[in-house]
Amino acid sequence: MPNQLHRRLWLKQTALAALGLSFSASSLGGEDYLPRELGSETRLLNLGSNENPYGLAPGAKKAIADLINTANRYAYNVPAVQSFKKELAAEYGVTQEHLLITAGSGEALNLLARHYSKGNLVSAYPTFAILPNTAKKIGVSVKEIPLDANKVHDLGAMLQAIDDNTTHVYVCNPANPTSTIVKPAALKSFCEEASKHAAITIDEAYIDFLDAPDNESMISLVLKGNKNVIVVRTFSKIHAMAGLRVGFIIAHPDTIKSLSANYFGNSNFCVGALSLNAALASLKDPEHRASCKQKNAAAREFTIKSLQELGFKPIPSYTNFIFFPLKNYSGDFAKDMLEKDVILRSSELPDGKWCRVSVGTMDEMQSFIKIMRTVKA
């Protein structure tokens, strides 16, 4: 398919997604259907969805091939994947009763927005949109607390925003679209205080890109018995399995029980056996994850330095994407970059225009920077 058609398709999808988004086309997920490479002579640089460009762990590819002849079966009829929850629980030091497997973590966020919908939701702005947008769509009032001047969650202001009607609080850490973090100690005390009043969902989709001690998960609070702290994780990012749709919730067994009652199939139905088998294999390959993390860090450093040389001021990135202000760019940056065969996200915030670009391979980021040299901002 020629690039022109792909561009038009993507624009259309993005425009549709933007209708339901406060942060235009930034983060809903699910609106990117384009292949990274379209063939030898036509190529779109897809830096729009924070995907892992290094592909599945070799064992995960084999795991899919191994089960290909069971694709006619529901996962609960495929013996090879019955140990998935057990293995996942062992990986995170929890019990199987602490886990709810979902078709990607987006589905978990959707479920949580619906489950805790009796009162208002407190979230940051801007933030990853699935949970707050789902809440808005079903009539939940959302208190959107602006990030602070450094584009970090303003936990103090979020705490203050919690009132008698708050039933749910959402914190994305590391944050999308800004790629900033709050330190574990601060987040822990926030969760401890806020969870006295409401359920707190901590979205840790990008936590595996962090170094110690920043990579401390809020799972420890769940294990302490806090029923109101809910951790959401995904295989889409460091495991490079975005297309396979495996995510999960870690929460107190009572919380999981109550969430499961609202989730028609639980893990036995919603995620396919091929995806589960790939996830099982990927869990056994920490070297692949370490290699993705290390290559991402190198390409990220190159990109940030190059953007700085071009006069842009990216904010420090802790993930596989970079957020930077567009200076005085006039026009629709994402649309204009698409004309140059680059897919990324741009948005208009109260303090101006911003761009979010995913960190691809070093080659891809070199191509991106070459194109950025032609941008007048």
Ligand X SMILES: Cc1ncc(COP(=O)(O)O)c(C=O)c1O
| Calpha distance 166→176 (Å, rounded) | 23
Tokens linked to 141: 């009032």
Count the site residues for ligand X by CB under 6 A: 14
H or E stretch including 102? strand 99-102
In a 13 Å sphere around the CA of 356, the CA atoms on its Cβ side amount to: 26
| Calpha distance 117→113 (Å, rounded) | 6
Among 26, 234, 320, 358, binds ligand X (CB under 6 A): 234
DSSP code per residue over 220-247? HHHHTT-TTEEEEEESSSTT--GGG--E
CB of 145 to ligand X, least distance (A): 17
In the shown chain, the binding pattern of residues 281 to 320 toward ligand X, with x for contact by CB under 6 A and - for none, equals ----------------------------------------
CB of 63 to ligand X, least distance (A): 19
CB of 35 to ligand X, least distance (A): 17
When asked if residue 236 is in the footprint of ligand X (CB under 6 A), the reply is: yes
For ligand X, give the closer residue by CB, 107 or 154. 107
Residue span binding ligand X (CB under 6 A) among the ranges 70-78, 100-108, 116-124, 358-366: 100-108
Burial profile 226-235: b = 16 or more Cβ within 10 angstroms, e = fewer: bebbbbbbbb
Interacting positions 117-136 with ligand X (CB under 6 A): 128
CA neighbor of 364 nearest in space, from 45, 18, 52: 45
Among 48, 104, 132, 184, binds ligand X (CB under 6 A): 104
Among 52, 70, 176, 317, binds ligand X (CB under 6 A): 176
CA neighbor of 323 nearest in space, from 179, 223, 152: 179
CB of 170 to ligand X, least distance (A): 10
Among 31, 32, 154, 203, binds ligand X (CB under 6 A): 203
Cβ atoms of residues 128 and 176 within 8 Å = yes
Helices (H) and strands (E) in the chain, counts: 13, 12
In the shown chain, the binding pattern of residues 246 to 265 toward ligand X, with x for contact by CB under 6 A and - for none, equals -x------------------
For ligand X, give the closer residue by CB, 176 or 255. 176
Sign of CA dihedral 50, 54, 60, 66: positive
CB of 362 to ligand X, least distance (A): 22
Among 6, 17, 24, 29, binds ligand X (CB under 6 A): 29
Among 242, 250, 322, 334, binds ligand X (CB under 6 A): 242
- How many other CB atoms sit within 10 Å of the CB of residue 335? 15
CB of 29 to ligand X, least distance (A): 5
Indicate the SS3 state at residue 286. Answer: helix
Match 């609080």 to its residue by tokens. Answer: 169
CB of 16 to ligand X, least distance (A): 18
For ligand X, give the closer residue by CB, 105 or 303. 105
Cβ atoms of residues 345 and 334 within 8 Å = yes
CB of 52 to ligand X, least distance (A): 11
Question: CA angle, 26 as apex, 22 and 31 as ends, to 5°?
Answer: 105
For ligand X, give the closer residue by CB, 105 or 255. 105
Contact footprint for ligand X (CB under 6 A): 29, 50, 104-106, 128, 172, 176, 203, 205, 234, 236, 242, 247
